[in-house]
C-alpha cells in the first residue's frame, strides 16, 4: 500500500477538501469500502442511533452505560466542535489524531479519489477501523442525516435505537414528518431489535411498519421518572426521554455482551457519568464571558425541549438574564427565535453573525425577534461578532450563576464558542445543575 498521508494534519487537509456539507445519497461507495476492509460485519457489537433530536445524548448515555458495565466502548458522534477527534471516542476519551494516519491510508487504498468517500463516509470507515484496532466490545454509532442512505446504515447493526423524530433537513429528507420518518425507518434492515422513544403518531407508524416488514422486535421506551433528573450526567428534564431510551436499549444489548441487564448500581453510574458538551451545559463566568448556559437547540423541537428545561431550572432559582442566539438561514429559525424571544420577554438578546455561508442575516433575525415587543434584539455583524456579543452580555445587569446568559440557536454557534475556549468542550462535565 502506497503512503498518501504522513501525519494527522494531512488527513485533516484531505477531509477539508472533501467538504463537510457535501453529500452523495448512495451507499455503494460505503459498501465497497467496508467489504474491501472486512468491516461489513465488524468483530464487535454495533448499535446504530437514529432520530432527529436527542441522538447524541442517547448515544452518550448508552455508551456510558456500556462502559459502566465493564465493556470497552466505542462512541461515534457528530458534529464536532473544534476537532474531528471529538467524534471518535473509546471509553469516553477521544482517539488522538496521530492514530488515524495508517487507517486513513488504508481507506485511500480501497476508495481512492476521484469517486472516493464523502467526509462523513470517510470518518465512519475510519471510526470502524480504529474501533477494531482498539478491540472494543461494542460500538455506538450516531447516524448523520436520515437513515436510508446514511453511512452508518451500510454497517451491519445488532440493535437500532430511535430518538424522537421531528421536522428537520426537509430539503434533503422530504417536506413532511411522514417523509422524514420514512427515510429514517428505512435504516431497519433485518430482524434485529428496534428500540424507540415516544414518537409523533406519523413517525411511530413508519417505525412500526418497518419493524413488521423485517420481523424486527420493537421495544417502546418510556421516559425516566422526574426523580432521575438531578442524577443524570446530562442536564434537563428532556434528558429523561433520552436516558430512558438508552436504558431500554441497554437491556436488549446486555445479553449480547454477556452482561447483567439489571445491575441498578451500574445503571445509575452509567447514566450519571454521561457527558456531551453543549447539552444544557453550565459554564462559570470569567473575564471573557459571563456565567453561561450552553445548549445546541437548533430547530423548534429542540427549542421546545430547551424551554421546558428552563421551566424546570426556574423552580430552583435559575433564570437566564439574557441570551446570545445565532442560527442558520436554511433552518426554521423564525419559529425558534420567536419562541425564545417570547420566553425572554424584556431580557436582552444578542445576535452575532456566524462565520458560516449558511448563516441567517443577523438584521433579519433581530427584526423578526423585535416583532414581539419590547425590542431587545441587538444584531452584531462583521468579524469577531461572538466575542463582541459575549462582552456585551457580561455587561448585562444581574448576571450570576443563577442568572446566566443562554447561548443557543445553532451547533455552529457553539462550535465558534468552543473554538475560542476549547477546554470547555474537552473538560470533565461540570457539576450537574440543580
Candidates 130, 111, 83; CA nearest to 24 is 111
Give the percent of the chain with pLDDT over 70. 94
pLDDT higher for 348 or 425?
Answer: 348
Angle, helices 119-134/101-110, rounded to nearest 10 degrees: 120
Checking if the pLDDT of 61 tops 90, the result is: yes
Residue 381, beta-bridge partner list: none
Residues 296-322: b if buried by 16+ CB within 10 A, e if exposed: bbbbbbbbbbbbebbebbeeeebebbb
Note the pLDDT of residue 160. Answer: 98
- Cα separation of 93 and 91, whole Å? 6
Note the pLDDT of residue 22. Answer: 57
CB 276 within 8 A of CB 56: yes
Note the pLDDT of residue 429. Answer: 46
- Cα separation of 61 and 274, whole Å? 5
Note the pLDDT of residue 169. Answer: 46
Checking if the pLDDT of 171 tops 60, the result is: no
Class of domain 8-273: alpha beta
Give the percent of the chain with pLDDT over 90. 81
Radius of gyration of the chain (CA): 21
Checking if the pLDDT of 168 tops 70, the result is: no
Checking if the pLDDT of 23 tops 80, the result is: no
- Cα separation of 237 and 235, whole Å? 7
Note the pLDDT of residue 36. Answer: 97
pLDDT higher for 426 or 162?
Answer: 162
**Mean pLDDT (whole number) for 408-416:** 94
Helix (H, G, I), strand (E, B) or coil at 368: helix
Give tens-digit pLDDT for 277-292: 998 999 999 999 999 9
- Cα separation of 289 and 429, whole Å? 19
Is 1.10.10.10 the CATH number for 281-426? no
Map out the domains of the chain as residue ranges. 8-273, 281-426
**Mean pLDDT (whole number) for 38-44:** 98
Give tens-digit pLDDT for 283-320: 999 999 999 999 988 889 889 989 999 999 999 899 99
Checking if the pLDDT of 416 tops 70, the result is: yes
- Cα separation of 261 and 240, whole Å? 19
Instruction: For residue 228, give the DSSP letter.
Output: G
- Cα separation of 123 and 82, whole Å? 15
Residue 377, beta-bridge partner list: 349
Candidates 312, 184, 292, 167; CA nearest to 239 is 312
- Cα separation of 405 and 317, whole Å? 14
Note the pLDDT of residue 114. Answer: 78
Note the pLDDT of residue 348. Answer: 97
**Mean pLDDT (whole number) for 410-416:** 93
Give tens-digit pLDDT for 67-104: 999 999 999 999 899 899 999 999 999 999 999 999 99
- Cα separation of 302 and 307, whole Å? 9
Mean pLDDT score of the chain, rounded to an integer?
A: 92
Q: How many CB atoms lie within 10 A of CB 396?
A: 17
Give tens-digit pLDDT for 216-229: 999 999 999 999 99
Checking if the pLDDT of 417 tops 90, the result is: yes
Long-range contacts of the stretch 86-91 (C-beta < 8 A, 24+): 86/425, 86/426, 87/123, 87/127, 88/123, 88/126, 88/127, 88/130, 89/63, 90/130, 90/131, 90/134, 90/136, 91/67
CB 198 within 8 A of CB 177: no
Q: Would you place residue 431 in the very low, low, confident or very high pLDDT band (cuts 50, 70, 90)?
A: very low
CB 39 within 8 A of CB 132: yes
Candidates 60, 61, 51; CA nearest to 204 is 51
Checking if the pLDDT of 433 tops 60, the result is: no
Q: Would you place residue 24 in the very low, low, confident or very high pLDDT band (cuts 50, 70, 90)?
A: low
Alpha helices in 137-263 (DSSP H): 170-173, 177-185, 201-213, 239-253
- Cα separation of 93 and 431, whole Å? 19
Strands 73-76 and 88-90: antiparallel
Amino acid at each position: 500500500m502506497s503512503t498518501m498521508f504522513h501525519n494527522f494534519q494531512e488527513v485533516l487537509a484531505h477531509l477539508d477538501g472533501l467538504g463537510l456539507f457535501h453529500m452523495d445519497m448512495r451507499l455503494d461507495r460505503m459498501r465497497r469500502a467496508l467489504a474491501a476492509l472486512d468491516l461489513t460485519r465488524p468483530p464487535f457489537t454495533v448499535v446504530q442511533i437514529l432520530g432527529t433530536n436527542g441522538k447524541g445524548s442517547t448515544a452518550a448515555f448508552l455508551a456510558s452505560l456500556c462502559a459502566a458495565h465493564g465493556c470497552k466502548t466505542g462512541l461515534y458522534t457528530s458534529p464536532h466542535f473544534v476537532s474531528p477527534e471529538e467524534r471518535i471516542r473509546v471509553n469516553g476519551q477521544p482517539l488522538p489524531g496521530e492514530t488515524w494516519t495508517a487507517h486513513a491510508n488504508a481507506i485511500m487504498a480501497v476508495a481512492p479519489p476521484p469517486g472516493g468517500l464523502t467526509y462523513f463516509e470517510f470518518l465512519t470507515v475510519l471510526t470502524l477501523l480504529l474501533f477494531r484496532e482498539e478491540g472494543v466490545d461494542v460500538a455506538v454509532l450516531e447516524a448523520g442525516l436520515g437513515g436510508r442512505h446514511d453511512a452508518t446504515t451500510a454497517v451491519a447493526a445488532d440493535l437500532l435505537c430511535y430518538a424522537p423524530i421531528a421536522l428537520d433537513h426537509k430539503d434533503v429528507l422530504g417536506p413532511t414528518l411522514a417523509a422524514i420518518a420514512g427515510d429514517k425507518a428505512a435504516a431497519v434492515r433485518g430482524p434485529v431489535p428496534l428500540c424507540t422513544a415516544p414518537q409523533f403518531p406519523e413517525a411511530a407508524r413508519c417505525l412500526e411498519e418497518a419493524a413488521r416488514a423485517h420481523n424486527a422486535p420493537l421495544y417502546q421506551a418510556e421516559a425516566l421518572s422526574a426523580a432521575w433528573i438531578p442524577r443524570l450526567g446530562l442536564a434537563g428534564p428532556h434528558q429523561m426521554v433520552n436516558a430512558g431510551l438508552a436504558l431500554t436499549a441497554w437491556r436488549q444489548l446486555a445479553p449480547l455482551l454477556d452482561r447483567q441487564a439489571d445491575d441498578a448500581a451500574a445503571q445509575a453510574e452509567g447514566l450519571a457519568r454521561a457527558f456531551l458538551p453543549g447539552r444544557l451545559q453550565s459554564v462559570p463566568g470569567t473575564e471573557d464571558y459571563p456565567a453561561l448556559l450552553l445548549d445546541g437547540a437548533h430547530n423548534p423541537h429542540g427549542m421546545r425541549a430547551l424551554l421546558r428545561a428552563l421551566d424546570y431550572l426556574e423552580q430552583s432559582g435559575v433564570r437566564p438574564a439574557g441570551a446570545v442566539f445565532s442560527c442558520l438561514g436554511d433552518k426554521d429559525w423564525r419559529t425558534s427565535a420567536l419562541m425564545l424571544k417570547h420566553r425572554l420577554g424584556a431580557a436582552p438578546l444578542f445576535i452575532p453573525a456566524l462565520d458560516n455561508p449558511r448563516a441567517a442575516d443577523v438584521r433579519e433575525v433581530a427584526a423578526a425577534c423585535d416583532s414581539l415587543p419590547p425590542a431587545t434584539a441587538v444584531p452584531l455583524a462583521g468579524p469577531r461578532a461572538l466575542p463582541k456579543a459575549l462582552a456585551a452580555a457580561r455587561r448585562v445587569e444581574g448576571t450570576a450563576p443563577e442568572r446566566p446568559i443562554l447561548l443557543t440557536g445553532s451547533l455552529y454557534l457553539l462550535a465558534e464558542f468552543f473554538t475560542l475556549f476549547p477546554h470547555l468542550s474537552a473538560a470533565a462535565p461540570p457539576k450537574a445543575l440543580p
